[in-house]
Amino acid sequence: MKKIIAFVFAAIIACQSAYPQACAIIMNDNTPYTRQAWWSLGSNNAFNDDNICKYWKDDYYVTSAAYTYYGWFFVASLGTGWTDQGYRYSSDWPTDWLREKWDNGYYITSMAASDTHYFLMASQGTDILSQKVCANPDWSVIRDFLHKWWNENYVVAGMCCKAGMWTFLMNYTGTYYQQSVFWGNTADEIATKIKEKWDEDYLITAIEYGNGEFCCVMSKTPGSSGVGQSYFIRTDKKPNDHIKEKWDENYEIVTIGG
């Protein structure tokens, strides 16, 4: 078993009520990515796609996005094996756009939300065969949705929270693995639960903060016990040094949340 805890929760515990966004950065070794770039737009700054378009021209694909303490935050990677991407930034859930993308072989690979907008990135050339989405303010409805599709060999691929409304995404690829979804009211609480699941050879595969709670998805896959993983959840320091340090150790960003 090979796990690492890094830069865990300094200022956020005291400041959760003042700052409705967090910033969580999960990094693994042994990823397929060969090079990465990341950027944030800054707290309270408007969305723009300048860097998305810039990196697309260099054959990078956006592999994770979130609305965080640092504003809109994106990661773009080489080595995905994907063939095309498109995104939608919308105040409402983009049902028609997503249906059109699904019809053309694109699937959501990043999903994020601020209090006012959704951001969906859909990619072509993935191993995803089908997706299911559930948005509901009642956790019991979402819990039933998760169990229903787990029984059909879907797995939770991500979630986001817009103005208190949680949305969960599940993927079907033909490969099913064990998952655990849990919540924490504080950074300390979620950290303790992460450590417990790490000890059982689970890895963080999605994390989000919304409506005053952390939600974390951890997955146990063949080979997960041999993967190194670190996480940064906003401290009083920016993530720049942490990301550079882990990049130098051949870790790559696999997911972000906020």
Q: Name 120's bridge partners.
A: 88, 111
How many other C-beta atoms are found inside a 10 Å radius of the C-beta of residue 216? Answer: 26
Are 124 and 82 a contacting pair, CB within 8 Å? yes
pLDDT value at 17 more than 50? no
Instruction: Report the C-alpha gap between 78 and 37 in whole angstroms.
Output: 9
CA 84, 63, 122, 148: dihedral to nearest 10 degrees? 140
> Greater confidence, 236 or 45?
45
- Structure token pair of residue 56: 């697309």
| Sequence-separated (6 or more) residues with CB below 8 Å from residue 158 | 108, 110, 111, 168, 169, 206, 208, 217, 255
pLDDT of residue 9: 45
pLDDT of residue 218: 98
- pLDDT more than 70, % of the chain: 91
**Does 14 score more than 50 pLDDT?**
no
Mean pLDDT of 126-145: 96
CA distance 254 to 99: 26
Res. 7: pLDDT tops 70: no
Per-residue model confidence (pLDDT) at position 6: 55
What pLDDT shows up at residue 21?
Answer: 78
* Across 31-43, average pLDDT: 96
pLDDT, one tens digit per residue, over 96-120 is 999 999 999 999 999 999 999 999 9
Residue type, position 191, single letter: A
Amino acid identity for residue 102 in this structure: W
CB 229 within 8 A of CB 4: yes
SS3 helix, strand, coil % of the chain, rounded to 5? 20, 40, 35
What are 184-210's pLDDT values in tens digits?
Answer: 988 889 999 999 999 999 999 999 999
pLDDT value at residue 19: 45
Answer whether 219's CB lies under 8 Å from 179's CB. yes
Supply the pTM of this predicted model.
0.92
Q: Which of 66, 167, 170, 71 is nearest to 121 (CA)?
A: 66
In order, the DSSP letters of 186-213 are SHHHHHHHHHHHHTTT-EEEEEEEETTE
Split at pLDDT 50, 70, 90, the class of 236 is low
Token pair in block for residue 258: 């906020």
Phi-psi category of residue 125: left, alpha or beta, with phi > 0 → left and psi -120 to 50 → alpha: left
Given a cut of 90, whether residue 4 has pLDDT beyond it is: no
Per-residue pLDDT averaged across 206-228, rounded? 93
Q: Examine the pLDDT at 64 and tell me if it is beyond 90.
A: yes
